[in-house]
Structure 1
Amino acid sequence: MLSTGSQLRLLRLLSCVALVLLFQVTNSKKDLKSTCSTCRQITDNFNKGFERTAKQNFGGGNTAWEERTLSKYETSEIRLMEIVEELCDSSSFDCNHMVEEHEDHFETWWFKRKTKHPDLHKWFCIETIKVCCPKGTFGPDCNACLGGSERPCHGNGNCDGDGTRGGNGKCSCDNAYRGEFCLDCIDGYFNEVRNDTFSLCTACDTSCKTCTGATNQDCDECKEGWEDDDQEACVDVNECAKDPSPCEEDQYCLNTDGSYSCKGCDKTCSGCTGAGPDKCQACASGYQDAEGTCTDIDECSQPEPVCTREHEECVNNKGSYLCICSSGYEEQDGECVQKLEPEKEEESETSETTTSTHGEEL
C-alpha cells in the first residue's frame, strides 16, 4: 500500500496530466477552427483570382499561336500559377504553409475535378483535406448543430464550430433568446409565436420586466420605477412627488419614464421647482423677486451708497457689485489717489534724487 506522501505525489501527477490533456484538447479545438478559417480564406482568394484573370491571355506577341501551341490560357497551368501566387499575404505563415503543402491538390482540381466539382471550398476544404464541415455541422465527424443543420439553433443563435471540424455544437443565442435550443425568451421579451422548432421573441412594453403580451396591461412583473395601478397595468412612479425630494437643495427633480434626474437650479435661485429664474422658491443673495421672477439687484442705484471711499465708483454685475477707483485715480494703501502725469512723475523722481544727494553731502 502506498504511503500518504506517495499518494499525494501520485495525485499531483495525475492532476498535472489532466491539465495538460485539457490544454491540448482546448488548443486542438481552437486550431481546428483556425485551420478551417485559413482554408476558407484560400478558396475565397482563389475565386477572386479566377475572376481577376478571366479576361487575360498569355500576354505575348502572338496570342493565337500561343493558345494553339501551349493550350488555351483559360485552362492553362500559367493561369493556375498566377492565381496560386496571389492566394496569401507574404506574412501569413499558416496560409502559405497550407498552399505549399497541398499545391498538388490545386493542380488536380484545376485539370481534372473543376468541371464536376465547381465548388472549390467544398471539394478542397471539406471533402479532400477535411479541415472544414458543411454549413450547419461541426466537429471531427461533421455532426448536425443543435436545432438541425438546416437552421442551427432554430435560426436564433450561432452554433459553436459551425462549418469547422472544431467546436462543441452548443448554441450562443441572439439577443432576446435563451435556452439550450434558443427557443425561450429573456426577461423583457415574450413568445409571440412558439412551437417545437420555431420561436419569435417580441419586446414587452417598456414598463414590464416580464410579460405575456405587448402592452403595459400584459406585464407579469413591473420594472423598477414602475408600479401596478388600479387596472393592474404598470405605470410610471413619479419619484419627484415624494417628500422629501430625492434631489439636493440647489437642484430640482425631473421625472422620466421609470426614473428621474436632478438638474441644477438657475443661479438666481435659492431652491427651485424647475428650470429658469421664474421657478425659484426664493431668490439668491444679490437678486430680488420682480413679479414672480428673480432679477438682479442694482446695488449701485440704492439710496444709500455702497462705495463710500473718496474718488470711488460703483460697478454693478450679476448678483453683486464692485467698488473701483474713478478714472484718473488708482488704489494705494486702501485709498484712491490721483495718478501722477508722466512729466510730474519724472520731476518727483528728480526731486527725490536731489534731496537724497544733498542729504548725503550734509
Structure 2
Amino acid sequence: MAVMLTVHSCPDACRKCLGPENDKCVECRAGWTLHYNICVDIDECGTELANCPPSTYCFNTEGSFECRDCDPACLGCMGNGPARCRKCTPGYRLTGSKCLDVDECSDRVLACHGLNEICTNTEGSFRCNCAEGFIRKKSVCVKKQLPSVQEKGLFEDIQDEEVEVLQQMFFGVVLCALATMAAKGDMVYTSLFMGAVAAMAGYWLSDRGDRLLDSFLKGR
C-alpha cells in the first residue's frame, strides 16, 4: 500500500515548521524570535544589535534594520524629521519642538558687513551678494564702470576702409587749396602743389606696384 506524503512550505520567517500556518513554527530565521510557535520580528533598534554611526538613526525592518540619515537640521537624532533632533545643526534654532532654519538676514545684527551688499537667506546659512550695479573685486563690492563715449577716441570705431577714404578726401582738399594758390602765380604754393602731386603719384604707384607684386606672388 503506497503512502502519500504531503510537503508543506514554511512561512517566510520560519526555518523549521510543522505546517504552513504561522503558528506551526519550530525554529525562526535570523532577525526573528519564537513566541508561542509564532516567529515575531525582533526590533533591533530597541536593543544593542543596532549600531548606527553618528548623524544616522535606526529604522526597523522585517527581520532586520537600516541606518538612515538624520534631517539636515539635526546634529544627531532619534528618528526622522526636524522634531527628532538631539541638537540643532549650526544655522538652525530650536523653535517649539523642531530645529528650524535661522533667517540670518532678518536678525538685528547685519549679517553682511560690507557696503553695497544684499543678504540672501539659504537653508542653514546665508550669502552676501553685491547689489545691482555693483561687482565684487577683492572681497569688496564696487560700482560697475560703464564705458563712456568720451573715453573713446574720435576715430576708434572707424573701419580701415573708412580711414583710407578720409585720408584721400583730406589730401584732395589740400591739393585743391594748393592748386588755387598756385593758379594765382604764387611760386611758393606752386612748389608745394607740385611736391604734393609728386608725393601722391609716388604713393599711388608704389601702392599699386605692391598690390601687383603681391598678386603675382600669390598667383604662383
TM-score normalised by length of structure 1: 0.39
Q: Does 1:246 align with 2:22?
A: no
Residues 196 and 220 of structure 1: is their aligned pair in 2 closer, same or farther, counting only changes over 3 Å? farther
Aligned to 1:281, which of 63, 67, 86? Answer: 86
Question: Could you tell me which residue of structure 1 aligns to residue 41 of structure 2?
Answer: 236
For 1:328 and 1:295, how far apart are their aligned partners in 2? 34
Q: CA RMSD in A?
A: 2.4
Match of 1:313 in 2: 118
- 4+ residue stretches of structure 1 with deviation over 6 A? none
Q: Does 1:227 align with 2:16?
A: no
> Partners in 1 of 2:3 and 2:80 — Cα distance?
55
Does the residue aligned with 2:115 lie in a helix, a strand or coil? coil
2:68 matched residue in structure 1: 263
Partner of residue 145, structure 2? 340
Give the secondary structure class of the aligned counterpart of 1:261: strand
Cα deviations across residues 336-358 of structure 1 (Å, max 9, x unaligned)?
A: 11112232xx54576xxxxxxxx
1:109-124 equivalent positions in 2, closer than 5 A: none
Following superposition, the deviation at residue 257 of structure 1 comes to 2.0
1:51-62 counterparts in 2 under 5 A? none
Q: For residue 297 of structure 1, what is the amino acid of its counterpart?
A: V
Quickly say closer, same or farther: Cα 1:196–1:211, change in 2 above 3 A: farther
Hey, what's the Cα distance between the residues in 1 that align with 2:88 and 2:135?
35
Cα distance change on mapping 1:242 and 1:348 into 2, 3 Å: farther
Aligned counterpart, 1:204 = 10
How big is each residue's C-alpha offset from its partner over 1:105-129, in whole Å with a ceiling of 9 and x where there is no partner?
xxxxxxxxxxxxxxxxxxxxxxxxx
Where do 5+ consecutive residues of structure 2 fail to align? 154-220
Pairs aligned (count): 154
Q: Distance in 2 between matches of 1:257 and 1:299?
A: 44
Q: Provide the rounded CA distance (Å) in 1 between the counterparts of 2:25 and 2:94.
A: 48
In 1, distance between residues paired with 2:112 and 2:2? Answer: 88
Match of residue 81 from structure 1: none
- Cα offset, 1:200, TM superposition: 3.1
**Contact 1:253-1:263 at 8 Å conserved across structures:** yes
1:300 counterpart SS class: helix
* Partner-residue secondary structure (3-state), 1:309: coil
Larger Rg: 2
Q: Which residue of 2 aligns with 1:22?
A: none
Within 2, Cα distance between the matches of 1:348 and 1:244?
77
1:31-82, CA deviations, whole angstroms, 9 ceiling, x for partnerless residues?
Answer: xxxxxxxxxxxxxxxxxxxxxxxxxxxxxxxxxxxxxxxxxxxxxxxxxxxx
Whole-Å separation in 2 of the counterparts to 1:299 and 1:244: 42
CA-CA distance at 1:244 after TM superposition: 7.4
Instruction: Give me the TM-score of the superposition, normalised by structure 2.
Output: 0.62
Is 2:152 aligned against 1:331? no
In 2: Cα distance, 1:209 partner to 1:241 partner: 24
CA contact (8 A) 1:239 1:246 kept: no
- Secondary structure at the aligned position of 1:217 is classed as helix
Is residue 311–residue 325 contact of structure 1 (8 Å, CA) maintained in 2? yes
User: What does residue range 1-362 of structure 1 map to in structure 2 within 5 Å?
Assistant: 196=2, 198-229=4-35, 231=36, 233-243=38-48, 245-343=50-148, 347-348=150-151
3-state SS in 1 of match to 2:75: coil
CA distance in 2, matches of 1:309, 1:272: 37
Q: Which amino acid aligns with 1:334?
A: S
2:26–2:37: 8 Å Cα contact kept in structure 1? no
State the 1:285 CA deviation: 1.8
Q: 2:46 corresponds to which letter in structure 1?
A: A
Secondary structure at the counterpart of residue 71 of structure 2? coil
The 8 Å contact of residues 273 and 281 in structure 1, kept in 2 or not, is answered as: yes
Distance 2:18 2:49 in 1: 36
2: CA distance, partners of 1:235 / 1:326 = 63
CA distance 1:269–1:237, change in 2 (3 Å)? same
